[in-house]
Structure 1
Amino acid sequence: MTTTPPERIELDQLVIRRETDDDAQGVADAIASNISRLAPWMEWAVDSAASVDAQRSRIADAAVQWNSGSVYDYIVFDPSNNEVLGKIGIHRTAEDVLEIGYWLTGAAEGQGIATRASSALTMIAARMDGVSRVEIHCDAANARSQAVPERLGYRLDRVVDHPVTTSHQTGRQMIWIYDAAR
Structure 2
Amino acid sequence: MQITINQDLALRMIAPEDAEKVFALTDASREYLKEWLPWLDFTKELADTKAYIEGCIKGHEANSSLSLVILFKNEIVGIAGFNAINPSNKIGTIGYWLSEGAQGHGIMTKTVKALLQYAFETLKLHKVEIRVAEANHKSRAIPERLGFMQEGTIRAAEWLYDHYVNHVIYGMLVSEWQQQL
* TM-score, with length taken from structure 2: 0.88
Structure 1 residues 178 and 71: alpha-carbon distance in aligned structure 2, compared to 1, 3 A threshold: same
User: 2 CA distance for matches of 1:83 and 1:131?
Assistant: 30
Q: For 1:141, what is the secondary structure of its paired residue?
A: coil
Structure 1 residues 121 and 49: alpha-carbon distance in aligned structure 2, compared to 1, 3 A threshold: same
Q: For 2:157, what is the secondary structure of its paired residue?
A: coil
2:135 match: 141
Higher RCO (C-alpha 8 Å, min separation 6): 1
More helix by share: 2
Identity of aligned residues (%): 24
2:26 match: 31
Q: CA deviation at 1:83?
A: 2.0
**Is 2:52 the partner of 1:58?**
yes
Structure 1 residues 122 and 50: alpha-carbon distance in aligned structure 2, compared to 1, 3 A threshold: farther
The answer as to whether partners of 1:139 and 1:169 remain within 8 angstroms in 2 is no
The alignment of Structure 1 onto Structure 2 pairs a total of residues equal to 173
User: 2 CA distance for matches of 1:126 and 1:152?
Assistant: 14
Q: CA deviation at 1:169?
A: 6.5
Q: CA deviation at 1:50?
A: 4.5
Q: CA deviation at 1:96?
A: 1.9
Q: CA deviation at 1:139?
A: 0.8
Q: 1:70 aligns with which of 43, 48, 64?
A: 64
Unaligned runs of 5+ in 1: 1-6
User: 1 CA distance for matches of 2:131 and 2:119?
Assistant: 15
Q: 2:85 aligns with which of 85, 92, 102?
A: 92
Q: Give the CA RMSD over aligned residues.
A: 1.8
1:154 match: 148
Q: CA deviation at 1:84?
A: 1.5
* TM-score, with length taken from structure 1: 0.87
1:107-129 deviation line (CA, Å, top 9, x unaligned): 11111000000000011112345
